[in-house]
Amino acid sequence: MGGIISIPKRTLERLPVYYRVLTQCLAEGMEYISSGELGDRAGFDNAQVRKDLNHIWSGGRPGLGYEIAKLAECLADFLGLNNTTDAVLVGAGRLGTALAGYPGFSGYGLNIVAVFDCDPEKTGGRIGDIPIMPVAKLPDLIRRLGIKLGIITVPGESAQEITDVMVAAGILAIWNFAPVRLQVPEGVLVRNEDLAASLATLSYYLRQHSLAKEKGQTLDSTAAEGN
């Protein structure tokens, strides 16, 4: 794991899915799994599984398949699940509170060290163990703790301003839940979690389905399929 391995983004997104399937298999007492069965359980085809895992793994044994414990460990290493990434979250509204309080993230190595909000009614409080602090203290905390990951759950109109503050203080990766596109300098990665776009995909499919039904046609669900 020493070097910089370049890996396609879609592959990277499938690796956590394989990891979850493998931990389920371990829990069931399995020792080996074929790429076909891994694919069945993960929802991807055989060839896709082998191609994805070839990026990080060279230990497949013909006839036996993957050794589950070793492959899971390799994935955990690669995905950094054994390291912890510290993050700040800005926006203690409903979604921010849900994310900050979500116990599942710790299993993926995310540690939200502080939540920030501009509402003085909220600051001074806590979400679980995490303190809610005033936004004015954001740059200092990012610098002091050397934090590189920022999560944005503020309304759209404040998101760019918060982004600028984060980037100026040294944030290198932003997980954006605000429904706007953020402008960032080169070298800063933004990952947009666009719930409105997901919703549009689903309602488009349902509308096409009801149109097709009216016309007596059938519709291919793969045409609008999610990830």
Nearer to a second copy, 13 or 140 (CB): 13
* 58 contributes a contact to a second copy by CB under 8 A: no
Using CB under 8 A, which residues numbered 196 to 215 contact a second copy? 196-209, 211-212, 215
Q: Report in angstroms how near the CB of residue 34 gets to a second copy at its nearest.
A: 17
Give residue for tokens 């759950």.
Answer: 153
* 110 contributes a contact to a second copy by CB under 8 A: yes
Q: Report in angstroms how near the CB of residue 63 gets to a second copy at its nearest.
A: 26
Q: Report in angstroms how near the CB of residue 69 gets to a second copy at its nearest.
A: 20
Nearer to a second copy, 58 or 218 (CB): 218
Which one of residues 31, 43, 47, 119 is an interface residue with a second copy (CB under 8 A)?
43
Nearer to a second copy, 6 or 58 (CB): 6
Which one of residues 46, 50, 148, 169 is an interface residue with a second copy (CB under 8 A)?
148
Which one of residues 29, 61, 94, 121 is an interface residue with a second copy (CB under 8 A)?
94
